[in-house]
Amino acid sequence: MDEQEEVKVKNPWHRPVLIFLTVFIILGIVIMVSISVVQNKPLPKKYKYGIVLDAGSSHTSVFIYEWPAEKENNTGMVRQIHTCNVKGKGISSYNANPDGAGKSLQECMVEAKQKIPAYRHSETPVYLGATAGMRLLKMEDETASEKVLASVEHSLKTYPFSYQGARIISGQEEGAFGWITVNYLNQNLNKPTGTLGALDLGGASTQITFIPQQEIESGDNSIDFRLYGNDYHLYTHSFLCYGKDQALKLSLSKKLVSAHAASKTDPIEVRDPCFHPGYNFTRTVQSIFDTPCMKAVNISSGIISHVGFGDWSQCQQSIRKVFNTSRCAYSKCSFNEVFQPSVYGKFGAFSAFFFVMDFLNLTSDSLAITKQKLEKYCSTPWKKIVENYPLVKEKYLSEYCFSGTYILTLLEDGYNFTSENWQDISFLKKIKGSDAGWTLGYMLNLTNMIPAEAPDTRLMPYGGYVTFMIFFTLFIFVLFLLACLYFRQSTRKAQKGII
């Protein structure tokens, strides 16, 4: 009986240290299992795709985007994997032949089929957004614009993707989605850092979008977003007819009207300081007035002899005439009686802002140097320019003096940038491999990929998780060894006791 009692007392499982260690080991295992379950929730590993067609006034581009399926709500995860430039002009140029608009997309859409894995085709959304060219066509001939949209819709539905619509987007959407794109790509949206304003220059319209420091006095210039848990109150404006092709027509029409008033020769000679000395090109009056951007004038037909004389400061004076700055019903205006708060913060200037300033090698100079270089460029004889750039299309080449001067005048006299904040403007084409423009923001919005609230994050970052698991495994292993040793010692002692 005495012996039996001694065995009971010395049973090692009854020692508090051993009980303590055992509880710790079990607790440790439970914690490890729980963490690995939370951390390793099954996640689909594959990529998803989206296609957006930018049907601009001068041309159409097809953008293909890709993102990891499990990370679609994180900022900066969507990237552009391919672009295809549709051959020919923009879809609005098919007003007299709407079927041609749909057909023009074929080559790029076939390319899209090859770029996106076949098993993803049916779930890949396709959106087409048309901008200022189609806005103008709609103003001129609504039936023609509907036919063009019906034609591209019919064409896009023949592909195995998930067709989501073809529509004319508003100027506010164009500005706001451009702003979302640049800030999404720069990963500014879920951080307390400042955002980047967006400046977009197309062929037929131009947009300015930024977060101002002052109240927005006109309702149609204000847009509110809640993205990743932050509220954004944006100023945006789109100037229809102030893209660089329409602005050239506006400017030429003014020169034509005064030349016509001064002398009624046929052809009418229009001397233009925005074109190089020695440049001489024959145009029809109709080619300048073929747009609803211009008021009808009494010169409706005839031939123009367009003669350049390359004088930058006269060119700038002539361009100023297309901006009406005489009246403003608000505390501040840009031009044409449009409210605009003072520009604030850094800006990204893309599309034709970039094409032109990049060609002229003016993307990183001060305003004063930019003017000097442009003055020199405009006064260079046309013959020399053609010799210097044999590979550039003559139509593009002839217009860079006008376009550069237009950009400078729009930014300085129109939007009120100064020599102090000139270098806050970055002329850029791409951000981390994706084009700056409205298309990415448009897709992110329509696929709900930017949540209003910040998405849930992992329990801990991957590196932290791995360190934690290694440390904890070692810890439990040591505890286990200690427990074994202690158990063996206790058993021995107990056995000795029995003997």
Judged by beta carbon distances under 5 to 8 A according to partner kind, the member of ligand CTP, Ca ion, none in contact with residue 92 is none
Contacts of 462 (CB under 8 A, 6+ apart): none
**Judged by CB, which is closer to ligand CTP: 59, or 276?**
59
β-strand 230-240 against 268-272: which pairing, if any?
A: unpaired
Shortest separation between residue 202's beta carbon and Ca ion, angstroms:
4
By C-beta, is 197 or 202 nearer to ligand CTP? 202
Q: How far apart are CA 315 and CA 196, in angstroms?
A: 31
Residues 130 and 55: beta-carbon distance below 8 Å: yes
Neighbours of 461 (CB within 10 A): 10
Residue 480, both tokens: 């286990």
> What are the Cα distances from residue 12, in Å, to 17, 23, 28, 203, 480?
9, 15, 22, 87, 15
By beta-carbon proximity to ligand CTP, the closer residue of 361 and 418 is 361
DSSP tag of 412: I
The DSSP output letter for 118 is G
* Smallest gap from residue 206 Cβ to ligand CTP (A): 7
State the amino acid at position 417 in one-letter form.
Answer: F
Residue with tokens 């914690």: 31
Measured from the CB atom, the residue of 396 and 477 that comes closer to ligand CTP is 396
Minimum gap (Å) between residue 122 Cβ and Ca ion: 29
To ligand CTP, the closest distance from the beta carbon of 217 in angstroms equals: 26
Q: Which does 352 bind (CB under 5 to 8 A by kind): ligand CTP, Ca ion, none?
A: ligand CTP
> CB–CB of 205/217 below 8 Å?
no
Instruction: Determine the Cα–Cα distance for residues 191 and 214; give it in Å rounded to an integer.
Output: 22
Is 420 annotated as catalytic? no
For tokens 């217009």, the residue is: 399
Q: What six digits make up the tokens of 123?
A: 């779930």
72, 107, 174, 453: the active-site residue: 174
Q: How far is the CB of 88 from ligand CTP (least distance, A)?
A: 12
Using CB under 5 A, list all residues that contact Ca ion. 56, 202
Compute the least distance from the CB of residue 137 to ligand CTP, in Å.
11
Q: Which long-range contacts (CB under 8 A, 24 or more apart) does 32-39 make?
A: 32/469, 32/472, 32/473, 32/476, 35/459, 35/465, 35/468, 35/469, 36/469, 38/459, 39/458, 39/459, 39/460, 39/465
Question: Quick one: 109 or 241, whose CB is closer to ligand CTP?
Answer: 241
Which of 206, 316 has the CB closer to Ca ion? 206
In the complex, the smallest distance separating the C-beta of residue 436 from Ca ion, rounded to whole angstroms, is 11
Neighbouring residues of 71: CB distance < 8 A, sequence distance ≥ 6: 77
* Site of interaction with ligand CTP (CB under 6 A): 56-59, 90, 131-133, 202-205, 243-245, 351-352, 355-356, 396
* Least distance in angstroms from the C-beta of 253 to ligand CTP: 17
Q: Tell which residue, 311, 307, 318, 313, has the closest CA to residue 278.
A: 307
76: left (phi over 0), alpha (psi -120 to 50) or beta: left
Q: Which is nearer to ligand CTP, 228 or 335 (CB)?
A: 335
CA atoms of 140 and 132, how far apart (whole Å): 12
Task: Find residue 82's DSSP bridge partners.
Answer: 64
Strands 430-431 and 230-240: unpaired
φ/ψ of 492, rounded to 5, equals: -60, -45
Dihedral class, residue 260 (left if φ above 0, else alpha if ψ from -120 to 50, else beta): alpha
- Closer by beta carbon to ligand CTP, 129 or else 341: 129
Where in the sequence numbering do the catalytic residues fall? Answer: 174
